[in-house]
Amino acid sequence: MVYHYTAKADPETMAKAVGRDLPISTKQSIEICAQIRGKSLQFAKRYLQEVVEFKRAVPFRRFNRDVGHKKTGGPGRYPVKACTYLLKLLNSVEANAQNKGLSSEDLVIETLVAHKGSGNWHYGRHRRRKMKNTTVEVIVRQKGGKAEEKKNEKPVKSEARKEEKKEKPKEEAKTRKEEGASKQKVSEDKTETKDQSSEESKNQSEKQDGNDKK
């Protein structure tokens, strides 16, 4: 089964790096990725460096059976080997982003996923033991990309729609008033024509009566 990032990536504002079959624990990698996913790239690098220097412990939320508690609170460990490999991977994705012209200070970890890699057999006395290999994929995104621009455009569109809705009733009222005025004019014209026709008929009848008397 193939594991990869299936979301639509924007090549202009995103950069990617993959570490295949890294010799690190999959469980430890999952716990580390859960802590730095969604954070800025610079923060993630500082976090991993502090773990390597035993200044900060990685809290284990999922694979925490028989794990001792640390001063930071809750069960945790210092996975030095996994953090060193992930730190190299973050440096690699930062270099890829800089090659595209992106600012390293504005990069955010969009996704960071760890999956089980190939299970190779050990050699010698440790035969019938499989190695712990892990495949890690990281994608970073620059702040202020197209996705954020679209989010900022949404309220503007809603406001424009509200203004259009407000303008529509006003225009409809104006058209109704104009239609009513035009109808009144037509009715007045009709009444005037009727009055004129009635006066003409009266005049004609009076003339006929005068001729008959003569």
Q: Does residue 4 lie in a domain region?
A: no
154/122 same-domain check: no
Across the chain, what does the average pLDDT equal?
Answer: 81
How deeply is 49 buried, as exposed, middle or buried, from its count of CB atoms within 10 A (0-12, 13-18, 19+)?
middle
State yes or no: pLDDT of 3 exceeds 60: no
CA dist list (Å): 109 to 38, 82, 180: 5, 18, 63
**Predicted TM-score (pTM) of this structure:** 0.65
Rounded Cα–Cα distance for residues 112 and 17 (Å): 10
Give the chain's domain count. 2
Domain of residue 160: give its range: 144-204
Q: Does residue 210 lie in a domain region?
A: no
157/106 same-domain check: no
Q: Does residue 151 lie in a domain region?
A: yes
Rounded Cα–Cα distance for residues 51 and 87 (Å): 11
Residue 146 backbone phi and psi in degrees, to 5? -65, -35
Domain's final residue, options 126, 143, 160: 143
State yes or no: pLDDT of 1 exceeds 50: no
Domain's final residue, options 143, 164, 180: 143
Q: Does residue 96 lie in a domain region?
A: yes
State yes or no: pLDDT of 97 exceeds 70: yes
Find the CATH number of the domain harbouring 41.
Answer: 3.90.470.10
93/21 same-domain check: yes
Q: Does residue 119 lie in a domain region?
A: yes
pLDDT of residue 53: 96
Which segment of 32-41, 87-96, 119-128 scores lowest on mean pLDDT?
119-128
21/107 same-domain check: yes
Rounded Cα–Cα distance for residues 149 and 143 (Å): 10
% of the chain with per-residue pLDDT over 90:
52
131/189 same-domain check: no
Residue keyed to tokens 């059976």: 65
Rounded Cα–Cα distance for residues 82 and 29 (Å): 6
Q: Does residue 197 lie in a domain region?
A: yes
pLDDT of residue 147: 47
Domain's final residue, options 107, 123, 143: 143
135/72 same-domain check: yes
Rounded Cα–Cα distance for residues 40 and 88 (Å): 16
Rounded Cα–Cα distance for residues 88 and 83 (Å): 9
Closest C-alpha to 145, from 117, 106, 178, 190? 106
53/80 same-domain check: yes
21/52 same-domain check: yes
95/188 same-domain check: no
31/51 same-domain check: yes
Can you say how many angstroms the Cα of residue 171 is from the centroid of all Cα atoms in its chain?
36
Closest C-alpha to 15, from 109, 105, 146, 86? 109
pLDDT of residue 195: 61
pLDDT tens across 166-209, in order? Answer: 555 666 666 676 776 666 666 666 566 656 666 666 666 666 66
CB 20 within 8 A of CB 135: yes
